[in-house]
Amino acid sequence: MSAVTTTAAPSANLAQRGKGAFLGLLAWAVGLLFFLPVAWMVLTSFRSESDAATNPPSLTAPLTLDSYREFFGGGASPWPPLINSLTASLLSTLLVLVLALPAAYALSIRPVKAWRDVLFFFLSTKMLPIVAALLPIYLIAQNLGMLDNIWLLIILYTAMNLPIAVWMLQSFLAEVPASVIEAAQIDGARLPVILYRVIMPIAGPGIAATSLICFIFSWNEMLFARVLTGVTAQTAPVFLTSFITSQGLFLAQMCAASFAISLPVLAAGFAAQDKLVQGLSLGAVK
């Protein structure tokens, strides 16, 4: 008996380890699979146009900064669209937070009556496909003289992201234990103090994660931006499409532009990374 158990234990251990190694390999493979197109984009952006267009693609072609030089110093300046995108993304994210935090508070920590219904009502506004609302919004904007105005995009992005933000924040705030709040109340803390000293630190990572999601959604939004903007309010994704041409090579230029335009989002992601990991794993107090 004892012989059996002593031989069984290492083999089970081995199987366990094999399984772990396999899962690790699989995770690496999936990770690389997702990262490969991005890596290819970055690599292509350092090629000359004719090297970027070869079939089969060449790994050893010489590297050049031409595409970036063209992007920043070529025909059209990328700064106005980038500034427009930053304005729309940052301001709409701020507005979303200002509106969504009280809403989420009223749906989790001090839930209103029928708070589940309210939550689903918020979500139902996302059920209408955006494209169905496009024409009415265009006509309204035209009548109000708001076409090609960055404030229109700020309002739209705020409205678009609000339901998601309320849902996310609701789940983060629900993680704040009632006992902690009660303890603070017993110690004589009033609402502003509780909000600031108790709830904020616990829900902070969640708020950071929500902000980042809203920022990314606004930054990448293309449909509204393409239809509703023109000369002055053009955003970065619309500017990006302007590199596509039907009469020439554009791959290297396009990749350089795509990479340059992804950088702000990457930077925001890195800056919030440690909070994000806490926030996205929903582990505020676990």
Enumerate residues 91-110 that contact other proteins by CB under 8 A. Answer: 91, 94
Residues 6+ apart with CB under 8 A from 173: 104, 105, 107, 108, 109, 199, 203, 206
Query: Given the rule CB under 8 A, which of 8-16, 27-35, 165-173, 240-248 is the region that contacts other proteins?
Result: 240-248
Q: Quick check: 87 binds other proteins (CB under 8 A)?
A: yes
Cα separation of the two ends of the chain: 42
Which of 80/111 has CB closer to other proteins? 80
- Distance, in Å, from the CA atom of 113 to the CA atom of 97, rounded to the nearest integer, reads 23
Min separation Cβ 24 and other proteins, Å? 33
Residues 56-75: x where in contact with other proteins by CB under 8 A, - otherwise, as a string: ------------------xx
Dist CA 138 CA 123 (whole Å): 23
Minimal distance, residue 235 CB to other proteins, in Å: 11
Check residue 273 for interaction with other proteins (CB under 8 A).
no
Instruction: Tell me how far apart the alpha carbons of residues 242 and 31 are, in angstroms, rounded to a whole number.
Output: 31
Q: What is the DSSP string of 134-165?
A: HHHHHHHHHHHT-TT-HHHHHHHHHHHHHHHH
Amino acid identity at 274: D
Q: Which residue stretch of 89-97, 163-171, 256-264, 276-284 sits at the interface with other proteins (rule: CB under 8 A)? A: 89-97
> Which of 168, 170, 161 has the alpha carbon at shortest distance from 88?
161
232 makes contact with other proteins (CB under 8 A): yes
What character string, x for contact with other proteins (CB under 8 A) and - otherwise, covers 208-227? ------------------xx
Q: List residues near other proteins by CB under 8 A.
A: 74-76, 80, 83-84, 86-87, 90-91, 94, 138-139, 142, 147-150, 196-197, 200-201, 204, 226-227, 230-234, 238, 241-248
